[in-house]
Amino acid sequence: MSDPSADDLALLARHAPLLVLDRLERYAPVPVEPFLTASITADGGKRLSGPPADLGVGGCPPALHLDPAPDAHRAADRAAAVFARFAPAPEPAAWACYGRVLRRRRGRRLLQYWCGFPDNPFGLGMRDVGRHVGDWEQVCVELDRSCALAAVIVFQHGSPQRVAAGSPGLTLADGRPRVYVAEGSHAMYLTAGSQPRILKRDNTSEGRSGVPRVLPLPGGAGWATWCGRWGPDTGPDLPRAELALVRWIARRSIGGDSPWSPLGAHRGRGERKPSVVAGRAQPVNRLGRVLRWLGERTWPCAVALDGAPVVERENVAEGHGEAPLAGAAARERAAVRVRARSGGLLLRRARYLDATVVDAGGAAIGHARAAFHGRHAELAVPLLDRAGPPAEVRIAGYNRVDQRSDVIAAPL
């Protein structure tokens, strides 16, 4: 496969989707070079090499993957290391995706857009079931023989959904499809709100938005066709047999494995064909309707702040963030302390609190979560060392089945 031509890139740029991130999203679609530069190549727990300069050469052991945080072993440590390395996410003008054009019969074209994210912090509950490092998501635009938009295909945990042009569920912005990116999982939807899933629900809302710059998806040997996965799985610390069962369940319901390369040898295995949806943005099936009906009646009440958030500063050891020290080796590190309370009963009561601090541009510069004790929760959100001043803290509560309340924001 050759690289896209100049005419193909112009066509891809003309129809590139407008991506809308969730208000609690910590990452954005970016070029792959920083991720590749920061990663090593590993086979399970065995380190094979330094930065993977040529991913198209060599064999492919079953557990081959990239790892941008090889020194972090616990899920929480790995999440913090990846966030510290790749956050804050850039402004929308620096977002990027990779595209190619596929020719179909009778002059029709399929435009593929691959969006890469450094991390997938989406997990089930406080145990992080289903989360993994590295993420690839896809949006497709179908064009008719006159190059007019015919349909849009969005992908959600490997399940594609096709919506025809003119359907009420498809919104266009200057002729481009408006696509909502779910918090953490980066699954693509065409509407905002709580999205029905079998186990954990995806959440989309009106956060930062922009049209990514379209880069050519390279053909031939290289990262786009590499046969390994783009990161290690970072689920809970469980016995091997129990962890295998959890991953088996998670992979078939909420994801759980780091993805293959966009054009890798394993790409396409187990993926289903797009379901044709005329006039609806949500899956037309009984289970989806039941999940949405239940979700609208059981998601938790909005959490409330107990007093104004406080920006605290403490002296910490240079490069560690551990015990406070005095003298020349000490420096200041900021954190935002948040106290919140939850109302409601049963599933309407939040089980844990999630807090994200953003800068003036809306980029996440700090994140933390903590369990509720009774109706109250308290946490300190450490801020990135290189981040600018915090502008706002955004909080939400999650219940026992991981449904999310409305997001509450407070200025700092």
- Of 296, 321, 350, which one is at a domain's C-terminal end? 296
Q: Which of 257, 276, 296 is the last residue of a domain?
A: 296
In this predicted structure, which of 5-14, 72-81, 261-270 has the lowest mean pLDDT? 261-270
Q: Which residues contact 241 (CB under 8 A, 6 or more apart)?
A: none
Tell me if 354 sits within 8 A of 379, measured CB to CB.
no
Same domain, 285 and 347: no
Question: What is the pLDDT at residue 339?
Answer: 95
* pLDDT > 70 fraction of the chain, expressed in percent and rounded: 74
What pLDDT score was predicted for residue 124?
Answer: 61
Average pLDDT value for residue range 96-108: 91
Whether 214 and 226 share a structural domain: yes
Let me know whether 291 and 303 are in one domain: no
Q: Strand runs (DSSP E) across 77-200, as ranges?
A: 96-103, 109-120, 132-143, 149-156, 159-164, 172-173, 176-181, 188-189, 193-195
What per-residue confidence (pLDDT) applies to 244?
A: 63
**Does 287 share its domain with 371?**
no
Check whether residue 313 and residue 288 sit in a common domain.
no
Does pLDDT of 61 surpass 60? Answer: yes
Query: Where does a domain end: 249, 271, 296?
Result: 296
Given a cut of 70, is residue 247 above it in pLDDT?
A: no
pLDDT value for 241: 62
Under the banding of pLDDT at 50, 70 and 90, the label for residue 328 is very low
pLDDT at 288 over 60: no
Q: Which pLDDT score, from 0 to 100, does residue 120 have?
A: 87
* SS3 of the chain: helix, strand, coil, percent, to 5: 15, 35, 45
C-alpha distances in Å from residue 31, one per residue of 90, 115, 120, 140, 333: 11, 9, 16, 19, 30
Residue 190 and residue 314 share a domain? no
> Which of 14-23, 246-255, 282-291 reaches the highest mean pLDDT?
14-23
Rounded distance between C-alpha atoms, residue 60 and residue 297, angstroms: 48
Which of helix, strand or coil describes residue 273? coil
Nearest-angstrom CA–CA distance, 233 and 247: 9
Separation of first and last alpha carbons in the chain: 51
pLDDT of amino acid 344: 87
Residues 276 and 347 placed together within one structural domain of the fold: no
Helices (runs of H) and strands (runs of E) counted in the chain: 5, 25
Dihedral class, residue 136 (left if φ above 0, else alpha if ψ from -120 to 50, else beta)? beta
Residue 73's pLDDT is 76
For residue range 134-180, list pLDDT tens digits in order: 899 999 999 999 999 999 999 987 778 899 998 888 999 999 999 99
The total number of structural domains in the chain stands at 2
Q: Which domain CATH number covers 321?
A: 2.60.40.10
Structural domain boundaries enclosing 360: 299-411
Per the DSSP assignment, residues forming a β-bridge with 99 are 113, 216
Q: Which residues touch 290 (CB under 8 Å, ≥6 apart)?
A: none
For residue 316, pLDDT over 60 is answered with: no
Non-local (6+) Cβ contacts of 293 within 8 A are none
d(CA 220, CA 328): 53
Higher pLDDT, 35 or 346: 35
Looking at the structure, tell me whether residues 46 and 110 fall in a common domain. yes
Q: Are residues 292 and 337 in the same domain?
A: no
Query: Does residue 59 lie in a domain region?
Result: yes
Residue 329 has pLDDT above 50, yes or no: no
